[in-house]
Structure 1
Amino acid sequence: MMRLLVIAVVLALACRMLLGKWPWDYLQTRSDGRQRLGRARRLLGVGRKASRSEIREAHRRMAAILHPDRGGSTAKLAEVNAARDLLLARLPADNISHEPPESPQ
């Protein structure tokens, strides 16, 4: 019995060292909203604490790459637009007032 306990502890530590997470962390499911936020961040390539200007800049970069006029697809561009909208909607309200308004192009 003691041998099984030692093996379990060693496996848990190995999992933590190799994969960066404890084994029981893989048992938790993320909520749908958190999954969408994570996917939107990955799609735009921004971090959790990205500012409004960082999100906009990342969106411009991705939109330029994926625009249908440049060989991209409308579906992918729609995904990028939805990711931008989701991330901007989740920003705290006080983040809005600290940045100058965007100039029209």
Structure 2
Amino acid sequence: MAPPYDVVVPEGRLFLLGDHRANSNDSRFFLSEQSGSVAATAVQARVLDNQTGLLALALTVLLGLLLTLSALVVQIASWVARQRSLPAPVPLNPDPPVDAQSV
């Protein structure tokens, strides 16, 4: 557990904390360097508040599952149609029928 700290973050800078605070080497460990803050212009990415990306991902997965299921149904239907259109197999009879009168 990190010791308690009191920080004033200067204008134009950010105080960054890691997601797993017990194991993050974040701004709390650099308090002697500009209060542990980082210039806002140095940050290369950020988390957005809206869930648009998550919704798009969920819809993409759902569409992929739907397309996979429909392809499976079409494959099964074509296999059934092909089986029905094949002629019935003709059994091979190597011995001609024996006529009782010829014996």
Structure 1 or 2: more helix by fraction:
1
Common fold: TM-score over 0.5? no
The TM-score normalised by the length of structure 1 is: 0.22
